Amino acid sequence: MIGLDRLSLNQATVKHLSVPEVAALCGRHEIPAIGLWRDRVAETGLAGAAAAVRAAGLHVSSLCRGGFFTQAGPEGLAAARADNRAALEEAAELGTGTLVLVSGGLPPGQRDLGLARRMIADAIGSLVPEAQRLGVRLGIEALHPVFCADRCVISSLGEAVDLALLFPADAVGVVVDTYHVWWDARLADEIARAGRRIVSFQVCDWVLPLPRDTLLGRGHLGDGCIDFGPVTAAVTATGYDGDVEVEIFNEEVWDAPPDQTAATVRERFAAELGGPLGPTSG
Amino acid sequence: MIGLDRLSLNQATVKHLSVPEVAALCGRHEIPAIGLWRDRVAETGLAGAAAAVRAAGLHVSSLCRGGFFTQAGPEGLAAARADNRAALEEAAELGTGTLVLVSGGLPPGQRDLGLARRMIADAIGSLVPEAQRLGVRLGIEALHPVFCADRCVISSLGEAVDLALLFPADAVGVVVDTYHVWWDARLADEIARAGRRIVSFQVCDWVLPLPRDTLLGRGHLGDGCIDFGPVTAAVTATGYDGDVEVEIFNEEVWDAPPDQTAATVRERFAAELGGPLGPTSG
């Protein structure tokens, strides 16, 4: 249902490579897009990273990440705002229309989820003019509820959609990441409700047993529990025709030769999302 | 808002004690109710366990647990059904009106959440007559989404409520366990919708960092991230006037002297749920 012409490799999948190295890897494997991370972009330098991507004939599907809005005190909040404005400018410079947000967990010393959610809404609202000016949309990512306390209190796609709908569609959307939302009985309905607000579709699998660091319990498509057919169909039905990023945090994947990882990413993408190289999806 | 006269100690909190030992502990600490587990009841023997509870002047708030309905093949399904019928009979014999269900994860080799959910609905439906005959309600427990793949595909309270509403109220209800549902932006609404379907209210805290075994990342009330005021208020507003179980899976708690654990359970319950011993809840 989604061909390999829409595959993007998020650079977190090949963690040990620099931006130019990932760009070259994508070029070798006919992967037309790349998802970038700000820390790695900074290592190469913004202009250099943008040039490396262009030289490899790629486009940037998204920049990770802004967010972490639930800081303590005026100084913390001002710093978060400044950082997110910088992230928007970097996204524009890299030529991507999507900045992925990991919105932040409970504020330090607080247990009030409502407060955290209001802080996030306020922060996103304050970024809207800058996002519109730069033509970059803020992608609210629902993180798996296991990360609610410490990383992101936006714990379901429905909640991300509710939040996004408070703001103009040209400034704020949602990210659908299978790893974070696959468990949700309301997922298909919420994807439909998200509609044109979907600004990024990220895929990886949920693998068991969970590793020591829960962040790293992700796998190649097909190695875990997620049924990619229905979620892909639901996203496609909204009219989403953008890039589909494979983003895998996993020690074994990181330790594998990058060319092997890229080949596996392509094979599994075709097999699970129904591209031309794989068997027909069920 | 909820006094210590409604405190129940789930025996999983003092894992190393037998049923008679937990019953005696509750007696010493003026804890009026106990939540039992079938494996520990079996060690003591059903009649002996019931007698020990009566001798200590306690009542049984719930029996854990039935469920695990998503078995492979006719034999697996028949075994699950027989086991759940036995669990209902044990609950009746112990004098509790609630059998807690952990419904089961993905069936072996399957990735189809819809199939798993239909299997669970079918299995619960088949148990309804027996539950009604015995006067024991099946309590559908939503488990945290981190357990969706391997333990319970019912991952949010709303989903548990949707499922319970398919069946008669005298046979099927829902369990609200703060540890599993605290992250949910829709929690207050779903508790209200559950209304009189709430058959058990269990409390423990979500503590960070998560331990190696995610099942054990629970803590004494007040040691973690959960704001017990709003959830307690929401449950109380439904008219729920039953027992409130403290159930903590945590290696350090298990290794502590049981009398210390019981004292801490009482203190924290009063402090967080507004009982007479503690400060007034906010």
Residues A273, A280 contacting (CB under 8 angstroms) = no
Q: What mean pLDDT is reported for chain A? A: 95
Q: What is the mean pLDDT of residues A236-265?
A: 97
Predicted confidence (pLDDT) per residue in A120-134, tens digit: 999 999 999 999 999
For residue B156, the chain A residue with the least C-alpha distance is A184
Predicted confidence (pLDDT) per residue in A143-154, tens digit: 999 999 999 999
Please answer yes or no on whether B184 and A155 come within 8 Å at the CB atom.
yes
Does A281 score more than 70 pLDDT? no
* Structure confidence at residue B217 (pLDDT): 84
Query: Position of tokens 């039992």?
Result: B36
Interface test with B, best of A110, A118, A146, A154 (most B CBs within 10 A): A146
φ/ψ of B49, rounded to 5, equals: -65, -45
Please answer yes or no on whether A146 and B117 come within 8 Å at the CB atom.
no
Interface test with A, best of B106, B146, B154, B213 (most A CBs within 10 A): B146
Residues B218, B234 contacting (CB under 8 angstroms) = no
- B171: which 2 tokens? 């046979």
Count other C-beta atoms under 10 Å from residue A6's C-beta: 19
Residues of B in contact with A144 (CB under 8 A): 145-146
| Residue A112 to residue B265: CA distance in whole angstroms | 22
Residue B245's SS3 state is strand
Predicted confidence (pLDDT) per residue in A45-72, tens digit: 999 999 999 999 999 999 999 999 999 9
Residue A223 CA, chain-centre distance (Å), reads 20
Which has the closest alpha carbon to B201: B152, B141, B249, B144? Answer: B141
Minimal Cα–Cα distance from A184 to chain B, Å? 7
CA dist A100 to A62, A84, A143, A194, Å?
Answer: 7, 10, 12, 16
What percent of chain A clears pLDDT 70, i.e. is strictly above it? Answer: 97
* Structure confidence at residue B279 (pLDDT): 41
Compute the C-alpha angle A112/A113/A114, nearest 5°: 90
Does A81 score more than 80 pLDDT? yes
Predicted confidence (pLDDT) per residue in A202-231, tens digit: 999 999 988 877 778 899 999 999 999 999
A215 in B contact zone (CB under 8 Å): no
CA dist B207 to A108, B16, B146, B269, Å?
Answer: 14, 22, 15, 16
Residues A155, B144 contacting (CB under 8 angstroms) = no
* Structure confidence at residue B275 (pLDDT): 54
Does A26 score more than 70 pLDDT? yes
List the single residue in A158, A212, A227 with the smallest CB-CB distance to B113.
A227
Q: How confident is the model at residue A138 (pLDDT cuts 50, 70, 90)?
A: very high
Predicted confidence (pLDDT) per residue in B125-158, tens digit: 999 999 999 999 999 999 999 999 999 999 999 9
Residue A20 CA, chain-centre distance (Å), reads 20
A115 in B contact zone (CB under 8 Å): no
Query: Position of tokens 């998802």?
Result: A35
Please answer yes or no on whether B184 and A158 come within 8 Å at the CB atom.
no
Residues of B in contact with A185 (CB under 8 A): 113, 117, 155-156, 158-159, 162
Beta-strand (E) ranges in chain B?
Answer: 7-10, 33-37, 59-67, 98-102, 137-141, 172-177, 198-203, 205-206, 218-219, 244-246
Predicted confidence (pLDDT) per residue in B256-277, tens digit: 999 999 999 999 999 999 854 4
B206 in A contact zone (CB under 8 Å): yes
Predicted confidence (pLDDT) per residue in A154-192, tens digit: 999 999 999 999 999 999 999 999 999 999 999 999 999
Predicted confidence (pLDDT) per residue in B210-235, tens digit: 887 777 889 999 999 999 999 999 99
Residues ≥6 apart with Cβ < 8 Å to A137: A97, A98, A99, A131, A170, A171, A172, A173, A199
For residue A207, the chain B residue with the least C-alpha distance is B149
Q: How confident is the model at residue A1 (pLDDT cuts 50, 70, 90)?
A: confident
B118-157 residues touching A, CB cutoff 8 A = 144-146, 148-150, 153, 155-156
Q: How confident is the model at residue B278 (pLDDT cuts 50, 70, 90)?
A: very low
Which has the closest alpha carbon to A149: B179, B155, B232? Answer: B179
Q: Which helix (H) or strand (E) holds A116?
A: helix A113-134
Residues ≥6 apart with Cβ < 8 Å to B213: none
Predicted confidence (pLDDT) per residue in B178-204, tens digit: 999 999 999 999 999 999 999 999 999
Q: How confident is the model at residue B170 (pLDDT cuts 50, 70, 90)?
A: very high
